[in-house]
Amino acid sequence: MKAASIMKPKSAAMLRPYQAALRRYLKKGASASLLPAMKLGRQAVAFGLETLDLALIHEQSMMAQMKAPGTAAARSRMVLRSRKFFAEAIVAMEESELVREALGDQVFEWFLRNKRAEWMSYHT
């Protein structure tokens, strides 16, 4: 089963643009802007996606990137750089007033701390 077929329809619609933006970001190296990641994060919020939806999109995008030829060291650098892209993309979700209002400040802050810890533990 293809990964896109298990995603929400709006997540699947974001997969290709996210893959393309991430590919460009990784290819440009240190001079790359994170603005496309921020825009994709805002689009995800507008679509009503959750952090885990965006994490699945990021994971699928990275799986595609890892198929490209390269050394283990180059892949390791790619994974590290991709974290910055994802972190920037979820900023919009973290700043979403709608989510904060729905959960309340205390639950919202707890949720963000846990999601950040979950993301970091997944990648360490």
Contacts of 105 (CB under 8 A, 6+ apart): none
Contacts of 10 (CB under 8 A, 6+ apart): 47, 48, 49, 53
Sign of CA dihedral 30, 35, 40, 45: positive
Predicted pLDDT of residue 97 = 67
pLDDT-based confidence at 122, cuts 50/70/90?
A: low
Whether 1 has a pLDDT exceeding 50, the answer reads no
Whether 16 has a pLDDT exceeding 70, the answer reads yes
User: What pTM value is reported for the model?
Assistant: 0.72
For residue range 110-121, list pLDDT tens digits in order: 877 777 777 667
Mean pLDDT over 105-114 rounds to 79
Write the DSSP assignment of 27-73 as a string of letters: HHGGG--SHHHHHHHHHHHHHT--HHHHHHHHHHHHHHHHTS---HH
For residue range 25-63, list pLDDT tens digits in order: 999 987 889 999 999 999 998 888 888 889 999 999 999
Predicted pLDDT of residue 38 = 92
Predicted pLDDT of residue 39 = 93
Q: Are 85 and 37 in contact (CB under 8 A)?
A: yes
Report which residue type is found at 84.
K
Predicted pLDDT of residue 112 = 73
